[in-house]
A and B are shown apart, each in its own frame.
Chain A
Amino acid sequence: MAGFFAALKKGHFVIYELIGGVKTLSVIGMCKNAGKTTVLNSAILECEERGETLGLTSIGRDGERSDLVTNTKKPEIFVKEGAVIATAEGLVPYGDVSREILEKTGIPTPMGEIIIFRARSSGFVQLGGASTTQQQKQLRDALFGFGCTRVLIDGAISRKSLGNPALADGVILSSGASYDPDMEKTAADTAYIASLFSLKEAGVTVSGGTRFEAVTERGRFFADELNELTEPLKAGAEWLIMNGAVTDMTARELLNSAKLLKNTRLAAMDASRLLLKKESFDKLTRFTRGFSVIKSTRLLAVTVNAFSAYGMHYDADEFIKKVRARLAEAGVSAQVLDVKNA
């Protein structure tokens, strides 16, 4: 909380420049205490200073109740009068803002139904949101419906799903020393996730609802099992589109057919569907003509936090340099900011 009030005084307008025309912004943390909330609070402050009406929600936080109770150090979200909040009813008592109840959404969460209220004073709010993309869209649209000029989404810890481009048109990725005591690993993994969020759009359309779709000169072929596509792949497919989650299991399937895929480009629906380890991703990239996505994500920035909640702090300068270096190696051009300056 003290950290928040410190930020209040500084009046830096760093994030505002970054998020400029982005109407729906997601902030995603690589882990707990990555500094995501600091980023959100700065974004809120900077937008409100400019007279914006903000809408706020988060991605479902099932199973995080104990964290809420025990982790009292964690700064909360602070809003000004006028902000519109979509959160679980059970989380309302954790905040201290005065509320005007606007809507009961019917979306259930383990912390109660999601309600929407308008802040009638400044104060703290605790965000909890919907877990399905459909519900998240419903909430985002409702927030705009209540007159919000911009919607900020708090990405629940370690959930990359809210990078979902269907939902947000810009993403900030937050990483920090709490991720792993080994700075090298944290930097490498951060660069990997950032590289997924930076994948280019394939520029092909998806026609079928099957798991796999092969685009060849002779037309399109659809199948739920990869081995059903052996023939068209043998003849040489330009694209193999994967309509659904791409996991390490999927990677193994694909690598078994690596010979057939050496001239094929792979396409996932969007970065949030790429749920595979870096090793699997790298291998696939090597054995094929690489990955694209059908719908790309706009990675606006990566933030770093050298402070570890577990006591294994990094050297701040070294950390930011390392992350920049890894990002450059991965071909990611996003800015890197230290949350201390956010």
Chain B
Amino acid sequence: MLDNEQLQKIGFRFVTDSVELMTPYGEELKRRARFYGKGEEKELEREQENIGKLVRLIGEKPEKVNAILRLLMPVKDIRRSIGAIGERTLTEVELFEIKRFLLQLELLAPETEEASRALHGIRIVPLPGALSVIDPDGTRSPSFYVSDRLSERLSEIRRERKLLDEEMKKYGNKEELVIRRTRIAAMEEDENARVRGEITERLVPYKEALLENTAAIARLDFALGKARLAEKTGAVMPRVGSERFALTGMTNPRYSAVLSEKGLEFMPVSLLLERGSVVITGANMGGKSVAIKTLALNVTLAMCGYFVFADAAELPYMDDICMLSEDREDVESGLSTFGGEMKAFDAMLSATRNKGNVLVLLDEFARGTNPFEGAKLVKAAARLFNERTNTFAVIATHFDGVSRLAKLHFRVAGLKENDPETLRARLASGAGDLSKFMDYGLYPVPPDEEPPRDAVKIIKALGVSREYTDLIDN
């Protein structure tokens, strides 16, 4: 799994922040995002099916979904109160919370019944037996009061207390009355505690069912949140567990949002991976890094049980994902960027050696050194991953000669206009910035096709002074 900073950069946090949840239970599931691991294949499949069915429900019966959301909204986290059952006598406030929760179950159960029949592991079960323990009078009021019905003695004490109130009104603060009043209030408190102890005892058989209901609510809330996002954005169910590793028409909501502010559109990215090294080449400013992050985002989403932002996606069951990207810095350890990168690379090699399928993403690896040695370093990495049968490596580089070692080679198309003078004229006429003239699409190219020579063209198009550009060509 990527670290928090990386999850932020690839746009995973952006996506999870867009998942709106109604309950603290759902929020907690979202926070604990992780890859479904070995032995959890079935669970992942069920989660995906649940999301798919909920997407359909949102489309077909939006009013039903809204009713469920409204019922989920007031649900609070009462696991501490439930946890205390069987451990000690519950307080009035804890019993109040449990009563509220039981009343919420009474409403949620029928409302979700139809949906939950089609869903996996999301059944909300009402517990009328528990409710009648807490609410023996059957008032179903959303408040909690230790009922007279539960104790003859309690009702006796309360009657006496009322009589005493009347007496005090008549005779005022006679010391004898004040003392009696204090004593009777203490007696009520004691009897109240004893009755609460009995209620707690009678709730013990329901403890597991209460907890199971909180878990069902968590799963329903989280799946519904993911489904609502998928419905809104058109995200699709990925096929996880396939032999092929292919994601077509991927987008990245975080970058899309940034681009749309500038009036630009995100160019969808398609990638086919094989075991071993896949190389992406392309000019500077060409979007290699965005392609890598978009892949990282969608694979992470798929493995964490989300739908993905793509036209279609299939991938093998992945055990882990690692990424070394150009914005990595290791200031704290005092290492240079290059030194830090190499140490991180080494750590990654050991961490992924004995795992199941691993996706390794290298974005402009070794860019901090000279091109001659840099190319050698990247080529060695490509060869190493070609030898590892558990690794799908994607290497974005602009070094020469790396792509020849690749199982597959993709190119970011780069500049659409070939003549720098024409380009410069159009830029100068205010036709937009350079990105308008770039094709960020990824295209498969033969392994031996060298990276394009767009750098000089771009410099010229940007209008960098001739004093300098004239010297480049000589």
B459: CB under 8 A from chain A? no
Contact of B92 among A9, A101, A122 (CB under 8 A): A101
Contact of A5 among B91, B92, B173, B192 (CB under 8 A): B173
Contact of A101 among B76, B145, B182 (CB under 8 A): B145
Closest Cβ of chain B to A147, distance in Å, is 12
Closest Cβ of chain B to A29, distance in Å, is 24
A89: CB under 8 A from chain B? yes
> 9 tightest CB-CB pairs across the interface, nearest first?
A5-B173, A9-B172, A100-B145, A96-B185, A101-B96, A101-B144, A102-B143, A101-B92, A100-B143
| Whole-angstrom CA separation of A121 from B97 in the bound complex | 22
| Whole-angstrom CA separation of A117 from B172 in the bound complex | 27
Closest A residue, CB atoms, query B99: A101
Contacting residues of chain B (139-189) with chain A, CB-CB under 8 angstroms: 142-145, 158, 161-162, 165, 168-169, 172-173, 178, 182, 185-186, 188-189
Contacting residues of chain A (96-117) with chain B, CB-CB under 8 angstroms: 96, 98-102, 104, 106, 115, 117
> Is the CB–CB distance between A104 and B173 below 8 Å?
no
23 example contacts (A-B, Cβ-Cβ < 8 A) are as follows A5-B173, A8-B168, A8-B169, A8-B173, A9-B172, A96-B182, A96-B185, A96-B186, A98-B145, A98-B188, A99-B145, A100-B144, A101-B92, A101-B95, A101-B144, A101-B145, A104-B76, A104-B93, A106-B76, A117-B92, A121-B161, A121-B188, A123-B185
> Is the CB–CB distance between A98 and B96 below 8 Å?
no
| Whole-angstrom CA separation of A120 from B159 in the bound complex | 12
Q: Which residues of A contact B (CB under 8 A)?
A: 1-2, 5-6, 8-9, 89, 92, 96, 98-102, 104, 106, 115, 117-118, 120-123
Closest Cβ of chain A to B165, distance in Å, is 5
With a cutoff of 8 Å between Cβ atoms, the chain A residues found around residue B162 in the complex are: 121
| Whole-angstrom CA separation of A236 from B248 in the bound complex | 68
Q: A100-B144, A102-B143 are in contact. Are A115 and B93 (CB under 8 A)?
A: yes
Contact of A8 among B93, B96, B172 (CB under 8 A): B172
Contact of B158 among A8, A106, A115, A121 (CB under 8 A): A121
> Is the CB–CB distance between A89 and B189 below 8 Å?
no
Closest Cβ of chain B to A31, distance in Å, is 27
Contact of A104 among B97, B169, B186 (CB under 8 A): B97
With a cutoff of 8 Å between Cβ atoms, the chain A residues found around residue B168 in the complex are: 5, 8
| Whole-angstrom CA separation of A167 from B388 in the bound complex | 69
> Is the CB–CB distance between B173 and A98 below 8 Å?
no
Q: A5-B173, A121-B158 are in contact. Are A101 and B143 (CB under 8 A)?
A: yes
| Whole-angstrom CA separation of A92 from B158 in the bound complex | 19
**Further 20 A-B residue pairs, CB within 8 A, beyond A101-B143, A104-B96:** A2-B178, A5-B168, A5-B173, A8-B168, A8-B173, A9-B172, A92-B92, A96-B182, A96-B189, A100-B144, A100-B145, A101-B92, A101-B93, A101-B145, A102-B143, A104-B76, A104-B93, A118-B143, A121-B161, A121-B188
> Is the CB–CB distance between B186 and A99 below 8 Å?
no
| Whole-angstrom CA separation of A92 from B162 in the bound complex | 21
Residue among B93, B165, B186 having the largest count of chain A Cβ atoms under 10 Å: B93
Contact of A9 among B95, B173, B186, B188 (CB under 8 A): B173
With a cutoff of 8 Å between Cβ atoms, the chain A residues found around residue B143 in the complex are: 100-102, 118
Closest A residue, CB atoms, query B100: A104
Which DSSP category, helix, strand, loop or mixed, fits chain B's interface?
A: helix
With a cutoff of 8 Å between Cβ atoms, the chain B residues found around residue A96 in the complex are: 182, 185-186, 189
| Whole-angstrom CA separation of A115 from B92 in the bound complex | 11
- Interface flags for B178-220 (1: CB within 8 Å of A; 0: not) read 1000100110110010000000000000000000000000000
With a cutoff of 8 Å between Cβ atoms, the chain B residues found around residue A123 in the complex are: 185
The count of residues in chain B whose C-beta lies closer than 8 Å to any C-beta of chain A is: 26
With a cutoff of 8 Å between Cβ atoms, the chain A residues found around residue B76 in the complex are: 104, 106
With a cutoff of 8 Å between Cβ atoms, the chain B residues found around residue A121 in the complex are: 158, 161-162, 165, 188
Closest Cβ of chain B to A148, distance in Å, is 15
With a cutoff of 8 Å between Cβ atoms, the chain B residues found around residue A2 in the complex are: 173, 178
Closest A residue, CB atoms, query B144: A101
With a cutoff of 8 Å between Cβ atoms, the chain A residues found around residue B182 in the complex are: 96
Closest Cβ of chain A to B29, distance in Å, is 21
Q: A2-B173, A5-B172, A104-B97 are in contact. Are A99 and B185 (CB under 8 A)?
A: no
| Whole-angstrom CA separation of A123 from B161 in the bound complex | 10
Residue among A1, A6, A117 having the largest count of chain B Cβ atoms under 10 Å: A117
With a cutoff of 8 Å between Cβ atoms, the chain A residues found around residue B189 in the complex are: 96
| Whole-angstrom CA separation of A123 from B91 in the bound complex | 19
Closest Cβ of chain B to A101, distance in Å, is 4
| Whole-angstrom CA separation of A40 from B182 in the bound complex | 21
Closest Cβ of chain B to A169, distance in Å, is 28
| Whole-angstrom CA separation of A68 from B350 in the bound complex | 60
| Whole-angstrom CA separation of A98 from B95 in the bound complex | 15
With a cutoff of 8 Å between Cβ atoms, the chain B residues found around residue A100 in the complex are: 143-145
With a cutoff of 8 Å between Cβ atoms, the chain A residues found around residue B161 in the complex are: 121
- Interface flags for B285-308 (1: CB within 8 Å of A; 0: not) read 000000000000000000000000
With a cutoff of 8 Å between Cβ atoms, the chain B residues found around residue A99 in the complex are: 92, 145
Q: A5-B172, A8-B172, A9-B173 are in contact. Are A98 and B158 (CB under 8 A)?
A: yes
Closest B residue, CB atoms, query A101: B96
With a cutoff of 8 Å between Cβ atoms, the chain B residues found around residue A6 in the complex are: 172-173
Closest A residue, CB atoms, query B182: A96
With a cutoff of 8 Å between Cβ atoms, the chain A residues found around residue B186 in the complex are: 96
Closest A residue, CB atoms, query B174: A5
With a cutoff of 8 Å between Cβ atoms, the chain A residues found around residue B169 in the complex are: 8
Q: A6-B173, A101-B143 are in contact. Are A122 and B192 (CB under 8 A)?
A: no
Contact of B192 among A9, A98, A115, A117 (CB under 8 A): A98
Contact of A1 among B91, B145, B178, B185 (CB under 8 A): B178
Residue among A8, A96, A118 having the largest count of chain B Cβ atoms under 10 Å: A96
Closest Cβ of chain A to B170, distance in Å, is 10
With a cutoff of 8 Å between Cβ atoms, the chain A residues found around residue B178 in the complex are: 1-2, 5
| Whole-angstrom CA separation of A106 from B78 in the bound complex | 12
| Whole-angstrom CA separation of A106 from B75 in the bound complex | 12
| Whole-angstrom CA separation of A129 from B93 in the bound complex | 17
Closest Cβ of chain A to B190, distance in Å, is 12
Closest Cβ of chain B to A306, distance in Å, is 22
Contact of A120 among B145, B173, B185 (CB under 8 A): B145
| Whole-angstrom CA separation of A219 from B390 in the bound complex | 72
Closest A residue, CB atoms, query B171: A9
Closest Cβ of chain A to B164, distance in Å, is 9
Closest B residue, CB atoms, query A115: B93
With a cutoff of 8 Å between Cβ atoms, the chain B residues found around residue A9 in the complex are: 172-173
| Whole-angstrom CA separation of A120 from B161 in the bound complex | 11
